[in-house]
Amino acid sequence: MGLLQVVTKGGNRSIANHDGESDGLPEQARDVSTVNATNSLEFTLLRNSGDPKVVKKMLAELVVETIRGNQNVTPGLSQILKALKTQMADVLAKVLSEKVVLQSRIDASSQNFTKCGEPATYKDSYKQAADSKEEQHAACRVMEADLKNSMDAEHTKYRGRFPVSEPACRKVFDATHATPLALDDLPSLATCFGDIKDLSAVLSSLMTRANSYKIATEHHTQKKGACAELQNEFESAVCSYHVHFEAHCSVYSSCFDARKSDFDATQKMVEILEASHKSLYTLSNNTLCLVEALEAGEISKMKNLLERCSNITVDTKALEVTYGSAPIPHSCVTHKPSAKPCNASWIQEKYSDKKWFENAPAKSCVECVIPTTNTTARVPWEIIATDAACNPRYTSRSLGPTPSGKHANQAACQEWCEIDANCNFYLYRYDPITASRSSRYFCAKFASCDSTNVFKDGDGGHIYRKPAIARKQATAAPTAANR
């Protein structure tokens, strides 16, 4: 379908295009132009009137040829120019009105962020407590590692006192010295006593080393137990933080991410449409200028108008859209935990990569017990069809010429379906071109989607399936039947 038909679809002022569709001209004008324009620029203009760029080029050629005296403005051409002026006026009005729609789309996507609310009940104290416990636990493990080194050093000193050998005379002391000795044997007895005295000193030093080793072991054991308790407190604090984040920030974070994605997609779409509208607006004004030149009659006027048309600068400020920017998310989003206790990456980050770990290894990690919550809203909705509607017929719908209420945007339509237990599918469509004005914004809910009707115009939006619906109910993709 030609661009001019798209703009005035449903009316009776569209001009013929290269596909041979109805031109919408009065019967008399069509007959006259066909007769008088055969094998001429008029006929070519008529056949290509669905393409604005071709129309502009042909009109410029007509003006030049008319100035040169090779072409006349026939009654048939006059009828074509009259219809063309009407269409160009419609185009200009259309793109100007669409600017309001595009601006409302941008404004609505910006306002969507307010639906996420504010995680007012989120408290930094949970993260601060987890960070504090981590510092305490790490400091304890450093001390434990130092005490382990001290214990090992005392153990080495203790072991260094061995082997301990008793005096040789000690083995036969009772038998040899049980009875009074002869005076000549007293020196050997004195020597034996001296050896026993030396052994006593060795044993005294050994006891000192043994006591130091025992004390070092006790200190290490006590610190190890204290660090194990701090590890429990640390892991518990982190788990509490995870629970608090999930309850008070995770939903907000997911909501914000979804709104940001919608905001970016909307802005990209509007930027494309704005550029297209400006181009069409400029082209239409150039076309009207050339039509005016053809209708001028006098050659001098036609020359002046042609020169003006060649140098015309069309002001498109009226079509400019004011773009906003996404708000800065709540600070809790930046506090999102990277991993939960006992995950391999978490253990590596918090324990095994630390310098103290070799001499003060952490005990077995205790996994978090996270309360189960309903996360259906955060599960992506699956798109099962594009540019189509479900069969059987929708259960309810919301539509209008401007974005508002349930049909304000895709997010609003999804929320409407989400709170409806009987809604398992929804269709959201924004069609500013081919849809009637009353249904440009369209949202429909469906209980089931056994098959689909295809719109075949490229502007039919998407059909989304609710995440909660059992996959067993969709053993095969819906079949498409042309609408």
- Does the model's pTM come out above 0.85? no
Element housing 141 (H / E): helix 124-159
* Interatomic CA distance for residues 169 and 148, integer angstroms: 41
Determine contact, residues 428/459, Cβ cutoff 8 Å. no
Q: Backbone phi, then psi, for 323, in 5-degree steps?
A: -95, 140
Say what the pLDDT of residue 33 is: 35
Burial of 474 (0-12, 13-18, 19+ CB in 10 A): middle
Residue 172 phi/psi, 5° resolution? Answer: -120, 15
| Residue 17 reports pLDDT greater than 60 | no
pLDDT the model gives residue 1:
32
Are β-strands 451-454 and 479-482 bridged in parallel, bridged antiparallel, or unpaired?
parallel
**What pLDDT sits at residue 459?**
64
Query: What pLDDT score was predicted for residue 422?
Result: 87
384-443 pLDDT, tens per residue?
887 788 988 899 999 988 878 888 788 888 889 988 888 999 998 877 666 787 888 889
Residue 41 and residue 65 in contact, taking contact as beta carbons nearer than 8 Å: yes
Closest among 364, 338, 335 to 349, alpha carbons compared: 338
Cβ 260 vs Cβ 333: under 8 Å: no
Tens of pLDDT, residue by residue over 58-85, are 888 888 888 888 878 778 888 888 888 8
Q: Which residues contact 407 (CB under 8 A, 6 or more apart)?
A: 398, 399, 400, 413, 428, 441, 442, 443
Q: Which amino acid is at 374?
A: N
| Whole-angstrom Cα Rg for the chain | 45
One-letter amino acid identity for 414? Q
Strand order of the β-sheet with 382-386 is 382-386, 462-465, 425-430, 441-446, 396-400
Which residues are CB-neighbours of 379 under 8 A, at least 6 positions away? Answer: 467
Pairing of strands 451-454, 462-465: unpaired
Of the candidates 259, 462, 467, the residue with the CA atom closest to the CA atom of residue 381: 467
Q: How many CB atoms lie within 10 A of CB 54?
A: 17
Mean pLDDT of the chain: 77
Q: How far is 245 from 123, CA to CA, in rounded Å? A: 9
In this predicted structure, what is the pLDDT of residue 246? 75
376-482: CATH topology: Hepatocyte Growth Factor (3.50.4)
Residue 244, CA distances (Å) to 237, 240, 337, 340, 343 in order: 10, 6, 11, 13, 19
pLDDT for 189 equals 64
Give me the pLDDT at residue 5, please: 36
Task: Please state, in angstroms and rounded to a whole number, the distance separating the CA atoms of residues 456 and 483.
Answer: 8
The number of residues in the chain equals 483
The answer to whether 447 touches 411, Cβ cutoff 8 Å, is no
At residue 9, the pLDDT reads 33
Pairing of strands 382-386, 462-465: antiparallel
